[in-house]
Amino acid sequence: MSGKIVSIKESVIDVKFPENDIPFLKEVLIIEETGTKLEVELLKENNVVSCLVLGKTVGISKGMKVRRTGNYLTVKVGEAVLGRTLDVFGNPIDRKGSIQSDIEYPVYRKAPAITQEREEREILETGIKIVDLLVPFVKGGKVGLFGGAGVGKTVLLTEFIFRMIKIHRGVSIFAGVGERIREAHELWHELKRLDVLSRTTLVLGQMNEPPGIRAKAIFPALSIAEYFRDEKNTDVLLLIDNIFRYAQAGMEVSTLLGKLPARAGYQPTLKEEIAMVEERIASTKTGSITAVQAIYVPADDITDPAPSSTFPHLDSIVILSRERAAKGFYPAIDPLESRTKVLDPDIVGREHYDVANLVIYHLQRYRDLEDIINMLGIEELSKEDRLIVQRARKLERFLTQPFFTTEAFTGKKGKNVSLKETIKGCKEIMEGKYDSVDEARFYMIGSVDEAVKP
Ligand SMILES: Nc1ncnc2c1ncn2[C@@H]1O[C@H](COP(=O)(O)OP(=O)(O)OP(=O)(O)O)[C@@H](O)[C@H]1O
Q: Report the candidate in 391, 390, 379, 397 with the shortest Cα–Cα distance to residue 428.
A: 391
Q: Give distance in angstroms: CA of 149 to centre of ligand 1.
A: 9
- Above pLDDT 90, what percent of the chain? 72
At 104 the three-state DSSP class reads strand
pLDDT band at 447 (very low <50, low <70, confident <90, very high): very high
Domain of 416, CATH number, reads: 1.10.1140.10
On the question of pLDDT at 112 being above 90, the answer is no
Judgement on whether residues 203 and 295 belong to the same structural domain of the protein? yes
Please report whether residue 345 resides in a domain.
Answer: no
Among 450, 427, 401, smallest CA distance to 128 is for 401
**Domain shared by 332 and 375, yes or no:** no
**What atom in ligand 1 is closest to the CA of residue 331?**
1
Residue 40: pLDDT band (50, 70, 90) is very high
Q: Residue 320: phi, psi to the nearest 5?
A: -90, 135
Instruction: Give the whole-angstrom CA distance, residue 334 versus residue 340.
Output: 12
For ligand 1, what atom is nearest to the CA of residue 150? 23
Provide the pairing of β-strand 142-146 with 37-43. Answer: unpaired
Q: Are both 64 and 94 inside the same structural domain?
A: no
Residues 56 and 10: beta-carbon distance below 8 Å: no
Q: 2-27 pLDDT, tens per residue?
A: 999 999 988 899 999 999 999 999 99
Instruction: Judge whether residue 299 has pLDDT over 80.
Output: no
Instruction: Label residue 250 by pLDDT band (50, 70, 90).
Output: confident
Answer whether residue 47 is part of any domain: yes
pLDDT in the model for residue 95: 93
What gap in Å lies between CA 362 and CA 268, rounded to an integer? 44
| pLDDT at residue number 307 | 84
Q: Is 294 annotated as a binding residue?
A: no
340, 365, 398 - which closes a domain: 340
Alpha-carbon distance 316 to 333, whole Å?
Answer: 12
Return the best residue to mutate from 130, 131, 146, 154 for the ligand 1 pocket (most ligand atoms within 8 A of CB): 154
Residues 61 and 74: their CA atoms lie apart, in Å, by 26
Number of other residues whose CB lies within 10 A of the CB of residue 294: 24
Q: Which residue's C-alpha comes closest to atom 3 of ligand 1?
A: 330
Quote the pLDDT of residue 429.
Answer: 98
| 292 strand-pairing partners | 143, 239
Give distance in angstroms: CA of 62 to centre of ligand 1.
50
pLDDT in tens, 370-428: 999 999 988 889 999 999 999 999 999 999 999 999 998 889 999 999 999 999 999 99
Which residue, judged by its Cα, is nearest atom 8 of ligand 1?
152
Do 137 and 182 lie in one domain? The reply is: yes
Q: Are residues 206 and 309 in the same domain?
A: yes
Over range 269-298, report the average pLDDT. 89
Closest residue by Cα to residue 414 from 332, 330, 333: 330
What are the start-end ranges of the H helices in 77-210? 129-134, 153-166, 181-193
Looking at the fold, whether 155 and 132 belong to one and the same domain comes out as: yes
Give a yes or no: residue 81 inside a domain: yes
Domain count, the chain: 3
Q: What is the pLDDT of residues 343-356, one digit of tens each?
A: 999 999 999 999 99
Rounded-to-integer distance, Cα 289 and Cα 168, Å: 13
Mean pLDDT of 315-341: 94
**34 or 119: whose pLDDT is higher?**
34
For residue 37, tell me if it sits in a domain. yes
Assess whether 194 and 284 both reside in one domain.
yes
Q: What is the mean pLDDT of residues 256-281?
A: 86
Ligand 1 atom with the smallest distance to the CA of 157 is 18
Q: Rounded to whole angstroms, how far apart are CA atoms 270 and 98?
A: 35
Who contacts 296 (Cβ-Cβ below 8 Å, separation ≥6)?
242, 244, 245
The answer to whether residue 35 scores a pLDDT higher than 90 is: yes
pLDDT at 264 over 90: no
Predicted pLDDT at 120: 73
Largest CA distance in the chain: 86
Question: Residue range 304-316: average pLDDT?
Answer: 89
Is 303 annotated among the ligand-binding residues?
no
pLDDT band per the 50, 70, 90 thresholds, residue 84: very high
What CATH number did the domain enclosing 129 receive? 3.40.50.300
Task: Tell me: do 294 and 369 sit in the same domain.
Answer: no
Q: Angle formed by the axes of helices 419-431 and 383-398, to 10°?
A: 160
- Cα R_g (the chain), whole angstroms: 25
pLDDT tens digits for range 139-176: 999 999 998 778 899 999 999 999 999 999 999 999 99
Question: 297 CA distance to ligand 1 centroid (A)?
Answer: 18
ipTM of the complex: 0.96
Boundary residue ending a domain (18, 48, 68): 68
The answer to the question of residue 307 being in a domain is: yes
Q: Which residues are catalytic?
A: 153, 179-180
Residues 180 and 149 in one domain: yes
Paired with 28 in beta bridges are 39
Instruction: For residues 203-227, give the mean pLDDT.
Output: 90
Q: Is the pLDDT of residue 252 over 90?
A: no
* Residues flanking ligand 1, CB < 6 Å: 147, 149-155, 330-331, 403, 406, 410
Using an 8 Å Cβ cutoff, are 314 and 340 in contact?
Answer: no
The verdict on 307 and 356 lying in the same domain is: no
Domain region containing 28: 3-68
Asked whether residue 319 is assigned to any structural domain, the reply reads yes
Please give the mean pLDDT across all residues of the chain.
Answer: 92
Least confident of 116-120, 179-183, 312-316: 116-120
pLDDT at 249: 85
Query: What is the whole-number distance in angstroms between the Cα of residue 406 and the centre of ligand 1?
Result: 9
Tens-digit pLDDT profile for residues 383-398: 999 999 999 999 999 9
Pairing mode, strands 74-76 and 137-138: unpaired
Q: Which helix (H) or strand (E) holds 176?
A: strand 171-179
| 276 secondary structure, DSSP code | H
H helical segments located in 141-199: 153-166, 181-193
What SS3 class is residue 221? helix
Q: Is 287 annotated as a binding residue?
A: no
152 is in an annotated binding site: yes
Q: Long-range contacts of range 421-427, CB-CB < 8 Å, 24 or more positions apart?
A: 421/446, 421/447, 421/448, 422/129, 422/132, 422/133, 422/447, 423/133, 423/351, 423/352, 423/355, 424/448, 425/129, 425/398, 426/133, 426/355, 426/358, 426/359, 426/395, 426/398, 427/355
**Omega before 312 cis (within 30°)?**
no
Q: What was the pLDDT predicted at 202?
A: 97
Centroid of ligand 1 to alpha carbon of 333 (angstroms):
12
Selection from 57-61, 259-263, 272-276, 363-367 with the highest mean pLDDT: 363-367
What span, in angstroms and rounded, lies between the C-alpha atoms of 173 and 5? 37
Q: What is residue 261's predicted lDDT score, i.e. its pLDDT? A: 82
Closest ligand 1 atom, CA of 403? Answer: 1
For residues 110 and 15, membership in a common domain is answered with no
Which atom of ligand 1 is closest in space to residue 402's alpha carbon? Answer: 3
User: Would you state the pLDDT for residue 244?
Assistant: 87
CATH number for the domain that contains residue 28: 2.40.10.170
Phi, then psi, of 382 in degrees rounded to 5: -65, 165
Say if residue 1's pLDDT is above 80: no
Residues 133-145 have pLDDT tens digits of 999 999 999 999 9
Q: Which domain-ending residue is among 340, 369, 394?
A: 340
Rounded-to-integer distance, Cα 180 and Cα 426, Å: 40
CA of 346 to the centre of ligand 1 (A): 35
What is the rounded distance in angstroms from the CA atom of residue 391 to the CA atom of residue 144?
29
Q: Which of 155, 161, 179, 244 to mutate to test the pocket of ligand 1 (most atoms within 8 A of CB)?
A: 155
Could you write out the DSSP letters of every residue in 335-381?
Answer: TTT-EES---HHHH-HHHHHHHHHHHHHHHHHHHHHHHHHHH-GGGS
Is 151 annotated in a binding site? The answer is: yes
Residues 324 and 430 in one domain: no
